[in-house]
Amino acid sequence: MRSVAQVLVFPAYRSNPFLNMLGLAPRAAGYRFLDAVSWDGLLRLLPSLQDGDVFHLHWTTPILQRAQDRAAAEQRLTRFVAELDGLRLRGVRLLWTVHNRLPHELAFRELEVDLMRAIADRADAVHVMAPDTPTVLSDIVRLDPATVRVLPHPSYAGIYDTGITREQARASFGLEDTDHATLFMGQIRPYKGIGELIAASGTAQRTDGDLVLLLAGAVAEADPDEIRTAIPAGVRAILDLAFIDDGDMDRWLRAADVMVLPYRAILNSGSVHLAATFGIPVILPDEAHLREQFGEEPWVAFFDTRDPAASIAELLSDTTLFAEVTEADFDRFNREISPFRVSRRYRMLLDELRGWPERSRA
């Protein structure tokens, strides 16, 4: 086993701060990171991994779901499983981070399930951020408890802060002190339930001021004009339906009073941690694994997924909902998941993997 280990990260989206934060401590400890983004790029780099190296698999979407057709997807599945078996024979460890229950773009569901099961069967360690992930995935794939490692999503402390104050941020949007700014930030896609949030903004009633809807993020799989025309009459909305530059993100966050994540399907969401980093209360779907993870946090509320629009509207109308939340509540949460603290735990996981005896190669 070489003294300097390589970690091949796939897909290594270079603009994703989560991946950059994870790598802080391992890089400082001497780990050498290899980045692959595409299927072809992955195949070029896999042969370079040898005994003691780690293949860290994140999102599985590029493996099958971007194949041209089912036949090509089947060929990719066969090839990928063979590659995983080859890695094991060479003493390479497989680490899988489970980000989603299933990919959001799902053209070949049955093949994806087969892929996930093949990965789970071969993984030396499965990294989950939501503790209840094995239960959420139980009807799709069984995660061996012996391989599961819980490592939380880090906060975004120091990532997006440019020093703008709340007063400056709100003034830039023309917000008054009595305006209640409701934020959704991130790529706008059908599964994220933006329609329900828009509908809720039209029926919510504030007694302490006006509700202002802030929507920030690029629109995917829809026409931006459809979003604009869906805003109910009488609702003040501030929209930027394009990619939000990193240097402008904290302006939106500092201006907000609450972040709403009206998702129809969610396992993990960095947006929750982004909101907590900036001290913004969050409204989430009432799902068992989310209550397990965030139910004790006073800055989190849950909407009824059976009637999202009405439930979100009721929560947005409640002027006492987050009245008792303090800065200390966010500080306590963020302290435990600071970027370098989580990164150190990730480095320890890589060290642990390298120190394990080889699994059976039968």
Instruction: Render pLDDT for 30-50 as a digit per residue (tens, 0 to 9).
Output: 999 999 999 999 999 999 999
CA 283, CA 316: separation in Å to the nearest integer? 9
d(CA 10, CA 34): 9
CA separation (Å) from 325 to 157, 210, 214, 297? 20, 21, 22, 9
Give the model's confidence band at 223: pLDDT under 50 very low, under 70 low, under 90 confident, else very high.
confident
Q: What pLDDT score was predicted for residue 224?
A: 86
Is residue 239 predicted with pLDDT exceeding 60? yes
The mean-pLDDT minimum among 58-62, 107-111, 161-165, 341-345 falls in: 161-165
pLDDT value of residue 360 = 41
Predicted confidence at residue 236, as pLDDT, reads: 96
Strand partners, 25: none
The pLDDT assigned to 93 comes to 97
> Concatenated DSSP letters for 254-268?
HH-SEEE---SS-S-
C-alpha R_g of the chain:
22
Q: Burial-class residue 174 by CB neighbours within 10 Å (0-12, 13-18, 19+).
A: exposed
- Interval 131-143 mean pLDDT: 96
Q: Does residue 1 carry a pLDDT above 80? A: no
249-282 tens-digit pLDDT? 999 999 999 999 999 889 998 999 999 999 999 9
Question: What is the C-alpha to C-alpha distance for residues 77 and 334, in angstroms, rounded to an integer?
Answer: 39
Average pLDDT, the chain: 94
DSSP calls for 198-253: HHHHHH---SSS-EEEEEES-B-SS-HHHHHHHSPTT-EEEEE-SPPPHHHHHHHH
- Please tell me the pTM assigned to this model: 0.91
Determine contact, residues 151/125, Cβ cutoff 8 Å.
no
Residue 326 scores a pLDDT above 90:
yes
Q: Is the pLDDT of residue 7 over 50?
A: yes
